[in-house]
Amino acid sequence: MLGSAGLGADEEATYLELIRRGAGSAADLAARLGRPLPEVQRSVDVLLGEGFVHRTPPPADLIVPVPPELAVEQLIHRHEQEVDRIRKAAYRLAAEATRQSGARRTEELVEIVTGQTAVAMAFDLVQRTARSEMRELVAPPYVASAEVNSTQLARQGDGVTYRVVYDSSALGDAVLAASAVSHVRAGEQARIADELPTKLAIADRELALLPLDWATPAQDAALLVHPCSLLDALVALFETVWNRASPLSVTESDELQPDEAMSAEDRHLLSLLVAGLTDDAAGARLGISRRTVARRVQQLMEQTHSRSRLQLGWHARDRGWL
């Protein structure tokens, strides 16, 4: 009955005797079971180690059974902790192997991962590989989950930056939106864009996960991409999408909300500058100083993450502000 819990026949018989007829001393148990005292004592020691019984202090020194549901739950919890330790050790080994990319043969630069569990573990591996930054594209259909990405929260706590672009449909998915709020509050840099081309996860420039069939919620197959030209292309794809996306922030009511678009006044200012007017001329047209013009342009550049006024004009036109 309890063999699957790791107990032998003698330990199971001892525990069942305690459950059925109550606590007793080791000598009492030996008499009740009709077994030698040293043999019963060994069984009791195993049960104590596994959390199925506990002993009262002397002089009574009774062996008391722990309720089965509690004992088994504690055993399961210990086993889960052990599995988690093994899993983390495997991730560390895999991450170390990933960093040895210089020794990879051409056919090893791209791996095919199959099975939902394997794909989920590969996503976890990608996150644990990152030392500086994770880049992600989150596109529909979404895998429903009421839980946040615990690995992400842990990695953010380790100092890994997460830059994530969500498809605009994400705001309509209550579960995903709630999870994203937790991630943003923990430091995730989030943006939103229309019609993302694919799902994607990239750890630094070391490893990427690209689903082979991202049109269904259950991801049965994906590519693990190691440093090569394909990984460089995926990084470039992400950066292109990121630069065109709009920043997301969390409201006081715990909702995701895109940052405000360009105001009519700023749009007028930018249209004058794009038309070729100087800061002085544009300021005179709007009735503001040259210094105010420069300050507002700088704010717009920060909002769109533009490195120059030319790039600002390109971003504004791409976002439909002009």
pLDDT in tens, 35-63: 999 998 999 898 888 888 888 888 888 99
Instruction: Output the average pLDDT for the chain.
Output: 83
Is 31 within 8 Å of 11 (Cβ atoms)? no
- Helix, strand, coil % (nearest 5) of the chain? 55, 15, 30
Whether 222 shows a pLDDT value over 70: the answer reads yes
Q: Write down the H helix ranges in 51-109.
A: 68-99
CA distance 322 to 306: 16
Is 15 within 8 Å of 47 (Cβ atoms)? yes
**For the chain, what percent of residues have pLDDT higher than 70?**
85
CA distance 122 to 210: 10
Is 237 within 8 Å of 117 (Cβ atoms)? no
164 CB neighbour count, 10 Å cutoff: 24
CA 112 to chain centre: 21
pLDDT in tens, 134-161: 999 998 887 755 568 889 999 999 999 9
Query: What pLDDT score does 231 carry?
Result: 94
pLDDT in tens, 280-309: 988 898 899 989 989 988 888 877 777 888
Whether 238 shows a pLDDT value over 90: the answer reads yes
pLDDT in tens, 94-130: 666 655 545 556 667 889 988 888 888 899 999 999 9
231: which residues sit within 8 A by CB, 6+ positions away?
202, 205, 207, 208, 225
CA distance 299 to 86: 49
